[in-house]
């Protein structure tokens, strides 16, 4: 999972730690056994699991509660170095949300080339570089998980196939990324242009010098980073699919900020972002059946955390809260059934950092216009208990 990419003397030694979940993130959760191959090569094996017990309480009358136990993530990764310049990462996953099958599939597969700290390359299938929360390691979060509505871009989702060039400037105060990827590649698409994503951030205190971020550094760093990104792909959808006419482009932008500061009285974390995805209101026209409902989504999230300065029993205790606001721009008649606000709070209990932790979260999902019959689009309260294990 972790790809150590910044060295003070700028000697390139990109160490992939393989903590399954967030490809190319900062070194926090430790990896499993490592095999040395020759003088410079290495291969590391990592297993990671998130097990959730979740109860959904629907506020609508006549809809029964829903309780599920499932593996939110269940991953095995192989990562390492061919030499000082070339690294690799391969990860498979099984399990998922309750309605997902348990078949294994490839989650990440890529090669890295680190020419210098200012110039690095990634080739393969890996995290797309648009939103900060997508780039935050899913096994290093502040809250229970990422936003279900805002973190993932509508075309390409969390991963994409392509190539990225990126690097750190001014002692890693500035980081730039440019990614050329497949994006939407469907027979229903109006065209076949590549997806282009650009991102930049500036770190005021300790640098966030890796390709990925963490949701919390557990009080080990003083961080203040602001970032912005732009995402674009031409001719992704026909506004009038039955007539195959009126092709529309996809474009999106986001701004984000992350702050974490350890003090003698505890560690404080605040993070937020705004993002807007735009396909010129195609969702209210006649797009193809595969057009995602998030194609014209806009929204924001704000999350905050506080970690106690001393251990409680054998572990560290961290409280958190967050709020997500999502406006999908999709109308059914005059109603916008998808628009919602999710408010949640909970706590992490770290027995061995992120390698072994317990999480409890309570979330209140409030729809602007609850759907009259679809339970999934009605107000609900969600209680989740989670166990995370990384080896």
pLDDT at 271: 98
Q: Where are the alpha helices (DSSP H) in the chain?
A: 132-135
3-state class (DSSP) for residue 266 = strand
In a domain, 152, yes or no: yes
pLDDT at 30: 57
Closest CA to 326 of 292, 288, 365, 362: 365
The DSSP element (H or E) to which 193 belongs, if any, is none
For 286, phi then psi, to 5°, come to: -130, 65
pLDDT band at 51 (very low <50, low <70, confident <90, very high): very high
More confident residue, 61 or 340: 340
For 108, phi then psi, to 5°, come to: -140, 145
| Radius of gyration, alpha carbons of the chain | 21
DSSP string for 353-369: TBTEEEEEEEEEEEESS
pLDDT at 373: 84
Quick count: other Cβ atoms within 10 Å of Cβ 388? 27
Q: Residues 173-200: pLDDT tens digits?
A: 999 999 999 999 999 999 999 999 999 9
Report how far residue 121's alpha carbon sits from residue 12's, in angstroms, rounded to the nearest whole number.
13
In a domain, 161, yes or no: yes
Query: Over pLDDT 90: what percentage of the chain?
Result: 79
- H helices, E strands: number in the chain: 1, 19
Closest CA to 336 of 344, 346, 326: 326
Report how far residue 223's alpha carbon sits from residue 239's, in angstroms, rounded to the nearest whole number.
43
In a domain, 248, yes or no: yes
In a domain, 106, yes or no: no
Query: What is the domain extent for residue 305?
Result: 115-390
pLDDT band at 18 (very low <50, low <70, confident <90, very high): very low
pLDDT band at 64 (very low <50, low <70, confident <90, very high): confident
Averaged pLDDT of the chain: 90
Least trusted range by pLDDT, from 6-15, 219-228, 286-295 = 6-15
Report how far residue 19's alpha carbon sits from residue 2's, in angstroms, rounded to the nearest whole number.
6
pLDDT band at 1 (very low <50, low <70, confident <90, very high): very low
pLDDT band at 329 (very low <50, low <70, confident <90, very high): confident
Report how far residue 327's alpha carbon sits from residue 276's, in angstroms, rounded to the nearest whole number.
10
pLDDT at 374: 85
pLDDT at 29: 55
Please tell me the total count of domains within the chain.
1
In a domain, 199, yes or no: yes
Decide: 184 and 195 in contact? Cβ < 8 Å: yes
Which CATH number fits the domain that encloses residue 199?
2.40.160.10
pLDDT band at 284 (very low <50, low <70, confident <90, very high): very high
Q: Residues 127-157: pLDDT tens digits?
A: 999 999 999 999 999 999 999 889 999 988 8
Residue 298: is its pLDDT beyond 60? yes
In a domain, 62, yes or no: no
pLDDT at 31: 66
Q: Residues 73-86: pLDDT tens digits?
A: 999 999 999 999 99
Closest CA to 121 of 78, 62, 76, 162: 162
- Tell which phi-psi region holds residue 90, choosing left (phi > 0), alpha (psi between -120 and 50) or beta: beta
In a domain, 293, yes or no: yes
pLDDT at 99: 62
In a domain, 57, yes or no: no
């Amino acid at each position: 999972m972790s790809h150590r990419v910044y060295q003070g003397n700028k000697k390139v030694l990109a160490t992939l730690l393989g903590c399954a979940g967030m490809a190319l993130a900062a070194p926090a959760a430790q990896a499993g056994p490592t095999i040395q191959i020759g003088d410079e090569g290495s291969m590391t094996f990592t297993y990671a699991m998130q097990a959730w017990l979740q109860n959904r309480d629907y506020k609508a009358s006549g809809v029964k509660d829903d309780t599920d136990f499932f593996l939110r993530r269940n991953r095995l990764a192989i990562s390492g170095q061919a030499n000082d310049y070339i690294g690799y990462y391969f990860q498979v996953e099984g399990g998922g949300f309750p309605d997902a099958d348990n078949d294994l599939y490839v989650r990440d597969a890529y090669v890295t080339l680190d020419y210098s700290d200012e110039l690095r390359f990634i080739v393969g299938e890996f995290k797309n570089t648009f939103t900060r929360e997508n780039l935050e390691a899913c096994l290093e979060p502040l809250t229970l998980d990422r936003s279900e509505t805002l973190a993932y871009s509508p075309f390409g989702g969390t991963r994409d196939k392509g190539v990225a060039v990126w690097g750190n400037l001014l002692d890693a105060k500035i980081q730039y990324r440019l990614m050329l990827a497949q994006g939407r590649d469907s027979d229903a698409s109006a065209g076949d242009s590549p997806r282009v994503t650009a991102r930049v951030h500036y770190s005021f205190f300790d640098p966030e010098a890796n390709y990925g971020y963490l949701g919390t550094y557990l009080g080990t760093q003083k961080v203040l980073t602001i970032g912005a990104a732009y995402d674009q792909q031409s001719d992704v959808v026909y506004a009038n699919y039955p007539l195959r006419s009126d092709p529309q482009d996809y474009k999106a932008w986001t701004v984000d900020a992350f702050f974490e500061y350890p003090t003698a009285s505890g560690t404080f974390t605040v993070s937020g972002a705004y993002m807007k995805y735009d396909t010129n209101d195609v969702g209210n026209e006649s797009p193809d059946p595969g057009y995602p409902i998030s194609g014209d989504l806009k929204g924001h999230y704000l999350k905050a955390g506080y970690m106690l300065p001393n251990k409680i029993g054998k572990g560290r205790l961290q409280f958190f809260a967050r709020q997500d606001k999502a406006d999908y721009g999709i109308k059914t008649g005059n109603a916008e059934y998808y628009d919602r606000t999710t408010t949640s709070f909970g706590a992490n209990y770290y027995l061995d950092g992120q390698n072994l932790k317990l999480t409890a979260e309570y979330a209140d999902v409030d729809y602007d216009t609850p759907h009259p019959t679809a339970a999934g689009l009605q107000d609900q309260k969600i209680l989740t208990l989670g166990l995370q294990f990384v080896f």
